[in-house]
Each structure stands twice: as C-alpha cells, then as structure tokens.
Amino acid sequence: MSIRTVKTTPFADQKPGTSGLRKAVTVFEQPNYLENFVQSVFDSLDGYQGQTIVLGGDGRFYNRTAINTILKMSSANGVGKVLVGCNGILSTPATSCVIRENGAFGGFILSASHNPGGPDGDFGIKYNIGNGGPAPEKVTEAIYAKSKQIQEYKILEASDINIDRPGFFKLGLMQVEVIDSVASYLKLMENIFDFDQIVDLIKSNSFRLCIDSMHAVTGPYAQKIFEQRLGAPVGTVINGVPLEDFGGGHPDPNLVYAHDLVEILFAQNAPDFGAASDGDGDRNMILGRNFFVTPSDSLALLTANAQLVPGYKAGLSGVARSMPTSMAVDRVAKRLNLPCYETPTGWKFFGNLLDDSRATLCGEESFGTGSNHIREKDGLWAVLFWLNILAVRRESVEAIVRQHWSEYGRNYYSRHDYEEVSSDRANELVNNLRLQLPSLPGQKYGSYQVEYADDFSYTDPVDHSVTNNQGIRIGFSDGSRIVLRLSGTGTKGATLRVYIESYEVDSSKHNLDTQKALATLIDIAQDLAKITYYTERQAPTVIT
C-alpha cells in the first residue's frame, strides 16, 4: 500500500455554513471535491497525527463512498486510529458521544441533516473537535482558508474495507475499528434517565407511544432503545430502516414533513406520545395525543422539570437558547434563578457555554435540544427526557404543557420559511430592513410599539469572540418579537426565515390558533420587510 499525492485545484464554494459543508450530491461527486475539503480539514489542524478520530454518517446516498475515501485519506495523513460506525452509521449525537468517551482528537460526520437525500438530494460533511462538538468558527474559517489554496491531497492506495460488521482492520499504518453504532450511546442514556421508571410507564397498558425515524439514522437506535431495552411493542418505531434516500421523504421532524406521525397522533384513539427525529438524529419533534409541543416550549418544559430526571437532579448551571428561539425558557430560568444565554443560530455557539459549565441545557426553535452530556443536540435524548417526565408525573403531554402555560404564561410562536428564493433578492430584503433599524424604536403599529430594533451580535462570554450580523430583531414593548434571518443550511438559492413571537399571560387566552394569535405581528413583518415584494412569494413554503 502506498501513499499517493494528487495534484488538485481549489473549489471556490467550500465555506462551511451553519452546520458544515452541505451541497447537492452532484457537487460532491465532482472529481476531488470531497478530497479537497477533507485535506483542507487536515491542513488546518495541528497535532492529529497518531491520534484517534471518529467517522460515521446518517446513511444517506454517498455515505459509503465518502467513508472509504476519508479512511484512506486519514491513513495517508498520519491519523493513528479511526473508530467507524458499523455500516457507516453513526448519528450526530452518537458521534459526539464516541468522541468524548474515547478522548478522540475529533471526528467527521457525514450528513446534510434534515435535507433530502439520494442521488438528486444533498450530502454534507462536518468536522467536530475533541469536545465532541461542531468546530467553532475559527476552525471552520481556517478550513475554508485552506480550501482556497489547496494544491494537493494525500490518499492511500488500498482496497475498500468491509464496514458491515464490528471488527479491527489495518489500513497502511493506521488502525480501523468498526464499532457497534448504538452501544456507547445507549450506555450514556442509561446513565442519565430512569429506565426502570420508563419501563413501568410503557408496561402500564394505559400508555402507548409511536416513534418515527423517517427512514433515517435513528432507526437502529430507536429500535434498540424503545422496543428492545424499554419493552415497547415491536412496531412502536415506524419508518425504522435507514434508506439512502430516506424513502423519498424529507427527514425533517416538523408538522409538515413528519406527516406519517402527525396522522397517527391526530387520529381518533391516537397514542399518548409521539416523536420524530431527523436525518442524522439530532433533532426531535414531540407530540401528545392531538397535541403539538413547540420546540421552544419543549426547552422551557425540560428546564422546569429537570429535577425529575436522575442526570439533572443535582441542578442546572444555566440554560441557553439560540436568538430566534422563543423566550419561554427565559421565564423558567428567571424563576429558578438560572443564567440564560442567547446565542446565534448554530449548535457550535453552545460549545463554550457547555465546556465552561455555564449552561446545562440548550435548545433551538429548529427542533433541537441537548445538554452537557454531549456537545451536539440530541433527538432521542429529548424523547427520553419527555418519557422520564411522563413516567414520573403520569399526566398527559397536553396537561403538562397547559399547566406550564398557566404557571409561566404562553409564548405563541411560529416560523415562516420562504425556501429557494433568489439570493440577490433575499439579501436586498435584509439590507433594506437593516437601513430602517435606527428609525424603528418608538414607532407604533396598532397596539404594538417598537422597543428595540437591531442586527444581533454575540460576544462569547468565554473566549470573547464576536459574531456579527446574526439576524434582525424587532422587539415590542409587550415582549413580542419579530426576527428575520437567512438560513445557513440551504443548498438552493436562499431561505428566508421569519420568526414571530408574542406573549400571553392570561390563561383564558391560551387556546387560540397560533397563526391567528400572531396575525397582526405577521402583517407587521410583511409591511416592514416587504416580504412578498422581495421573495416574489404570496405565502411561506413551510410554516412551523
């Protein structure tokens, strides 16, 4: 086996976005495209030679090809050992768990998360650092800088290895261990949650649940945890076989794309609890019988009920949410006297807060919740957290949420996405709005008065790095907000996200339809940002 040095030229578009490099599969299939990016990662890192790295993905189309390429490039670049998930499968949270458990130097996660897969879908690659979390901006910037200068990459000339079952291999001087994809993750979950109590709940004939893996990575994890370990009947996990194209679906656990689960939970005689997870297993959607829990409310509820879970009994050090996430958790944090941090969108911004023990729980409106147990958001962890709460409280999901609203008030919340709009027009919209910001405070729109209007900037309290232009916030004197930003994860044109939030303390008004409750604010957003004009769309593509 010899190491080949291959001449190459840079691609101009290898700047990682909100969560790694995501492109159409056809872009990744260009000669040298994947290799350039992987070499740029190695070129931007110091000290990985001889160390262990972790490698896995969500099983989407191109996963296997990429795994073999990365294995051979790792060997050629002097990596000591690679832990690779069996069949190339490792959910994003499991990768974070394995990196931490083994004190690995870092890891590659092959996923475009919730984006569709298959030959005409998307692929992605993300590098995680030794704390198990996404590379922070200084690392992704360094990778991008290397990708613009790259002239050659190194790869071992060798045959592909068989990753279909656990075992040990040698690839050049490098060791490869194919590991069980689920074992470490299951062990970690058993250390956090009261599995016996959840088993009792599931055994108590009065409780039924349904878990939708959307033909993505969590299938094997969910079957092992819910059906085998916790004793739920076979068939509890639906769409449980990971497919390279996710069965043609869009593995995004929201009310629009997780329609199989939504139909089951909103039918007559529906189960008591339902949950879905996304392509790579880091997102979750929680449903009760005929009831949807918004991700922002879910974070607030987990915080308020954390003392019911063994792993958090000792207390929380603080909580964090991304800026567009509703402020429901802020109210719980205030009551519990906990610090509450507001970060830009992107899980990478939680890493320092978790490492520095400033936050224990973190969450985002984009269906992501997690804690200091790993450094990624974690879909099945959130499901187990809910089950643990249900097992202790023995009330319905709806009753628990309504009780929370009556105690803390309700944050009506919705996100309107305008997908695949022209990038130029979307940027014009944002620029136009930015120009208006200084004149907005004090302006009245019906009963709403603007209290502040800014473009969100974040100063990391740990390393003091500053991240600017993270989304436009327009806050009103009654606590309502409108936030607008462009997505950093789309692969076609631009996606405009409009986040709308209002706060209602009066529990007699907690039964409104969300879109109706937010109608006036939605109109204000439309007027201020001229959304129809710039996007050339009459309505959002997705409303969550």
Q: Which is nearer to ligand G16, 32 or 487 (CB)?
A: 487
CA atoms within 13 A on the CB side of 158: 24
Exactly one of 375, 410, 481, 497 binds ligand G16 (CB under 6 A); that residue is 497
Work out whether 114 is an interface residue with ligand G16 (CB under 6 A): yes
Show the site string, 277-316: x = touches ligand G16 by CB under 6 A, - = not: -x---xx---------------------------------
Residue in 91, 111, 113, 414 annotated catalytic: 113
- Provide, rounded to whole angstroms, the least separation between the CB of residue 69 and ligand G16: 22
Q: How far apart are CA 121 and CA 211, in angstroms?
A: 24
Nearest by Cα to 293 from 126, 411, 468: 411
Per CB under 6 A, 347 contacts ligand G16: yes
**Shortest approach of ligand G16 to residue 172 CB, angstroms?**
32
Residue 18, interface with ligand G16 (CB under 6 A)? yes
Q: Is 346 near ligand G16 (CB under 6 A)? A: yes
3-state secondary structure of 137: helix
Write out the H or E segment, with its range, that includes residue 431. Answer: helix 423-436
Q: How far is the CB of 278 from ligand G16 (least distance, A)?
A: 6
Q: Kindly list the distances between the CA atom of residue 274 and the CA atoms of 193, 266, 309, 425, in Å, as whole numbers in the listed order.
A: 18, 10, 20, 39
Torsion angle, alpha carbons of 157, 139, 146, 14, to 10: 80
Catalytic site residue 480? no
Output 278 or 330, the one with its CB closest to ligand G16.
Answer: 278
Name the residue nearer to ligand G16 (CB basis): 181 or 325. 325
DSSP 8-class letter at 159: P
Q: Tell me which of 65, 197, 487, 507 binds ligand G16, using CB under 6 A.
A: 487
What's the min distance (Å) between Cβ of 76 and ligand G16? 29
Q: Shortest CA distance to 430 belongs to which of 489, 473, 478? A: 473
353, 343 contact by CB (below 8 A): yes
What is the radius of gyration, based on Cα positions, of the chain?
A: 23
| Residue placing its CB nearer to ligand G16 in the complex, 171 or 302 | 302
Question: 480 by DSSP, 3-state: which?
Answer: coil
Task: Give the residue, chosen from 326, 414, 489, 502, that forms a contact with ligand G16 under the rule CB under 6 A.
Answer: 489
Minimum CB separation from ligand G16 for residue 364, in Å? 5
Q: Which residues contact 163 (CB under 8 A, 6 or more apart)?
A: 64, 67, 84, 85, 86, 87, 88, 178
Strand partners, 55: 84, 108
Q: Tell me the window of 60-68, 76-84, 472-480, 486-494 that interacts with ligand G16 (CB under 6 A).
A: 486-494
Here's the x/- map for ligand G16, 80-109, by CB under 6 A: it reads as: ------------------------------
* Closer to ligand G16 by Cβ: residue 14 or 470: 470
Residue among 74 and 115 whose Cβ is closer to ligand G16: 115
Q: Can you tell me the distance from the alpha carbon of 398 to that of 421, in angstroms, rounded to the nearest whole number? A: 37
Query: What DSSP designation does 90 have?
Result: -
String marking each residue 198-237 x if it binds ligand G16 according to CB under 6 A: ----------------------------------------
Candidates 364, 378, 460, 501; binder of ligand G16 (CB under 6 A) is 364
Contact between 147 and ligand G16 by CB under 6 A: the answer reads no
For 203-247, the DSSP string reads HSTT--EEEE-TTSTHHHHHIIIIIIIS-PPTTSEES-S--TTGG
Query: What is the CA 443 to chain-centroid distance, rounded?
Result: 36
List 113, 181, 352, 388, residue binding ligand G16 (CB under 6 A)? 113
Q: How far is the CB of 508 from ligand G16 (least distance, A)?
A: 34
Cβ nearer to ligand G16, comparing 194 with 364 = 364
Least distance (Å) from ligand G16 to the CB of residue 489? 3
Nearer to ligand G16, 305 or 366 (CB): 366
Binding residue count for ligand G16, defined by CB under 6 A: 18
Q: Is 432 helix (H, G, I), strand (E, B) or coil?
A: helix
**What angle, rounded to 10 degrees, do the helices at 379-393 and 92-101 form?**
90
Shortest Cβ 18–ligand G16 spacing (Å):
4
In the complex with ligand G16, which residue's Cβ is closer, 109 or 308? 109
Contact of 416 with 406, CB cutoff 8 Å: no
- Quote the least distance from Cβ 353 to ligand G16, whole Å: 14
The 47-76 contact track toward ligand G16, x by CB under 6 A, reads ------------------------------
Q: Beginning with the edge strand found earlier in the chain, give each strand of the sheet holding 340-343 in spatial order.
A: 340-343, 319-322, 361-364, 368-371
Nearest CA to 426 out of 526, 529, 512, 521 is that of 529
Pairwise CA distance, residues 316 & 313, whole Å: 8
d(CA 418, CA 423): 11
Place of tokens 């309700």: 410
**What is the closest distance, in whole angstroms, from the C-beta atom of residue 368 to ligand G16 in the complex?**
6
345 binds ligand G16 (CB under 6 A): yes
Site string for ligand G16, 244-263 (x = CB under 6 A): --------------------
Which is closer to ligand G16, CB of 107 or CB of 368?
Answer: 368
Q: Which residues are catalytic?
A: 113
Q: Which spans of this chain sit near ligand G16 (rule: CB under 6 A)?
A: 18-19, 113-114, 278, 282-283, 322, 345-347, 364, 366, 368, 487-489, 497
